[in-house]
Amino acid sequence: MTLATPAYKRILLKLSGEALMGDDAFGINRATIDRMVSEVAEVTAMGVEVAVVIGGGNIFRGVAGGSAGMDRATADYMGMLATVMNALALADAMERQGLTARVMSAISIEQVVEPYVRPKALQYLEEGKVVVFAAGTGNPFFTTDTAAALRGAEIGAELVLKATKVDGVYSADPHKDPTATRYTQLSFDEAMVRNLGIMDATAFALCRDQKLPVKVFSIIKPGALKRVVLGEDEGTLVYA
Annotation-wise, does 202 bind a ligand? no
Backbone dihedral angles phi then psi of residue 238, each to the nearest 5 degrees? -110, 125
139 belongs to an annotated ligand binding site: yes
Reference 82, options 136, 130, 34, 35; nearest CA is: 136
Q: Is 17 annotated as a binding residue?
A: yes
Helix, strand, or coil (residue 173) = coil
Annotated binding-site residue? 133: no
Has 173 been labeled as part of a binding site?
A: yes
Give the CA dihedral 192, 15, 231, 172, nearest 10 degrees.
Answer: -40
Instruction: Tell whether 137 is in a known binding site.
Output: yes
8 is in an annotated binding site: no
Q: Is 15 annotated as contributing to ligand binding? A: yes
144 is known to lie in a ligand binding site: yes
| 164 is annotated as contributing to ligand binding | yes
Helices (H), the chain: 30-44, 57-60, 72-96, 118-126, 144-154, 188-193, 201-209, 224-229
14 in a labelled binding site: yes
- Residue 34 assigned as binding residue: no
Residue 177: phi and psi, rounded to 5, are -125, 105
Q: Are 13 and 226 in contact (CB under 8 A)?
A: no
92 is in an annotated binding site: no
Q: Is 66 annotated as a binding residue?
A: no
Whether the CB-CB separation of 116 and 127 falls below 8 Å is answered with no
d(CA 97, CA 80): 26
Whether 141 has a binding-site annotation, put simply, is: yes
Please report, in range form, the residues annotated as the binding site for UMP: 56, 76, 137-144
Please report, in range form, the residues annotated as the binding site: 14-17, 56-57, 61, 76, 137-144, 164, 170, 173
Please report, in range form, the residues annotated as the binding site for ATP: 14-17, 57, 61, 164, 170, 173
